Amino acid sequence: MAILVTPQTKVLIQGITGSFGARHAQLSLSYGTQVVAGVTPGKGGQTFRHESFEVPIFDTIAEAVKATGATASAVFVPPPFAADAILEGVDAGLDLVVAITEGIPVVDMVRARHAMRGSKTRLIGPNCPGVVTPGEGPDSKGGCRIGISPGYIHRKGNIGVVSRSGTLTYEAVWQLTCRGVGQSTCVGIGGDPVNGTSHLDVIKMFMADPETHGIIMIGEIGGSAEEEAAAWIKEHGTKPVAGFIAGATAPPGRRMGHAGAIISGGKGTAEAKITAFREAGIGIATTPSDMADTLLKMM
């Protein structure tokens, strides 16, 4: 069943004619993702070609949705224009917008989140690796890959992965795959302070998904999202969860890697998050190399 996306999801790519968007459009097509449209203002009527694939390009998302039935998008748009690109997807009624762009001004995201209130669109990101639901084929091909995650490291199975860190998402997935354990869906929610989907949102979806039997949740210093997810798991969790918190040695007040990874006012520390995990019965991986084994021992 998976969450958020399936092999049948029709995807459009905003910024498909840029070098970064084009590269990952090619990788998604090769993976088997149903990339049905590209959107670049001023380039409507052109075609994006890769191997045997021909993807029509439209000037607007509304045109692309009307012509192709796309329900999800990947945003590969430069930071100054990315928030508007997200809202264009919202206005077009997309079910899912995955914003890969890093460096979107925080004020732009605050305005975008406010404008999204009451809409049906779910936003993943920004500054995230995206979403992968593995397929049945070799190297998990035939699934749905939206974003920049390397598809070949995935394997279809029953473990859900949710993470703020892209690199640690890949690490957890690869550890599982190397142990012969597949994934239902892998979700990189991004490390920005203002994002669209939280750990808790994804944890609730995994708990409700009958094909997800266990969960790896990866957090980092800054904010309170991990503690909120842990509190919910303590009260409502029905499946084993293993967790890892990055940034335990970060000095207070210094941003570490992600815009949201900053400790201030005594909040958002690794110690507080690890304590919340322990109290919720979440298995704690002491190092990144222990993430898969921690969950598998619990199971």
pLDDT at 170 over 90: yes
What are the tens digits of pLDDT across the range 27-78? 999 999 999 999 999 999 999 999 999 999 999 999 999 999 999 999 999 9
Question: In this structure, are residues 135 and 156 in contact, taking their beta carbons and an 8 Å threshold?
Answer: yes
Task: Give the DSSP per-residue string, 159-195.
Answer: EEEEES-HHHHHHHHHHHHHTT--EEEEEE--S-SS-
258 is an active site residue: yes
Q: Could you give the CA distance from residue 233 to residue 280 in angstroms, rounded to a whole number?
A: 6
Q: Which of 94, 86, 87 is nearest to 70 (CA)?
A: 94
pLDDT at 112 over 60: yes
With cut-offs at 50, 70 and 90, classify the pLDDT of residue 258: low
Q: Which of 266, 271, 243 is nearest to 253 (CA)?
A: 266
Q: Which of 34, 1, 4, 39 is nearest to 18 (CA)?
A: 39
Q: For the residues 208-230, what does the mean pLDDT come to?
A: 94
Q: Percent of the chain having pLDDT more than 90?
A: 86
Question: In this structure, are residues 147 and 24 in contact, taking their beta carbons and an 8 Å threshold?
Answer: yes
- Check whether domain 155-298 has CATH 3.40.50.261, yes or no: yes
pLDDT, position 50: 97
Burial 49-58, CB ≥16 within 10 A → b, else e: eeeeeebbbb
What are the tens digits of pLDDT across the range 267-287? 578 888 999 999 999 999 999
pLDDT, position 191: 86
Q: Could you give the CA distance from residue 1 to residue 21 in angstroms, rounded to a whole number?
A: 28
Check for a shared fold between 10-124 and 155-298: yes
Per the residue annotation, which of 24, 154, 199, 258 is the catalytic one? 258
- Check whether domain 10-124 has CATH 3.40.50.720, yes or no: yes
Residues 6+ apart with CB under 8 A from 122: 4, 95, 96, 97, 196, 197
Residues 6+ apart with CB under 8 A from 141: 30, 31, 32, 135, 151
Residue ranges of domains in the chain: 10-124, 155-298
Q: Could you give the CA distance from residue 243 to residue 161 in angstroms, rounded to a whole number?
A: 10
Q: What is the pTM assigned to this prediction?
A: 0.94
What are the tens digits of pLDDT across the range 172-199? 999 999 999 999 999 999 988 899 999 9
pLDDT, position 256: 58
| Burial grade of 120 (CB within 10 A; 0-12, 13-18, 19 or more) | exposed
Q: Could you give the CA distance from residue 66 to residue 27 in angstroms, rounded to a whole number?
A: 25
